[in-house]
Amino acid sequence: PYLSDFYSDMKRWSFNLQIYFLHHRFASINSMVANSNRGIVQDRTIYEDAYIFATNLKAMGLMTNRDFINYKSIFDLMESFVKAPDLLIYLRSGIPNLVDQIHKRGRDYESSISIDYLSRLNERYEAWTQTYKKGELLIIDVDNLDFVKNKEDLKTIISKVDDSLSKYSDKKLDDAIKS
């Protein structure tokens, strides 16, 4: 409910938007955990909200320091209740591909997203993935893949995910044997 307002006045709506997303993702993961005895797949994590989006907004001067401190304290509390993902998949994309995907979606409120904003987000994703230690990380470059229209590209991605999950399961089993 905040996206359109946010893209028209980022400074005014940044805190509201980030709190909304943080709450929404926290509630979503809790609901999935409560209602599933199998693996869970989630599109976006609370980590991205805190380490990419909110941090970027603060750095750009679009979120006040007071709001960021408040946001971060809520995130820290919520994070203490959430198990980190066993496997995090990062679909790496360059700016031209991101812009193309945004145009394909055709959402009016996204038409004002600046290249500078996208570039800063991409830089934050790259920095964050270099230091990510909460679980396994799989990085897939998608600039030359069209997994929506091309079944072979989708199979390539599924194969990479399967390989990573297999390695993770083997590592988890080895760790259990060692302890």
d(CA 64, CA 81): 26
CB atoms within 10 A of CB 127: 13
Alpha helices in the chain (DSSP H): 3-8, 10-34, 46-48, 55-59, 65-79, 95-105, 115-131, 151-178
d(CA 142, CA 147): 8
106 burial via Cβ count (<10 Å: 0-12, 13-18, 19+): exposed
**59 touches 120 (CB < 8 A):** yes
Task: Name the catalytic one among 9, 43, 170, 174.
Answer: 43
CB atoms within 10 A of CB 17: 22
- To the query of whether residue 116 is one of the catalytic residues in this protein, the response is no
Which residues are known catalytic residues? 43
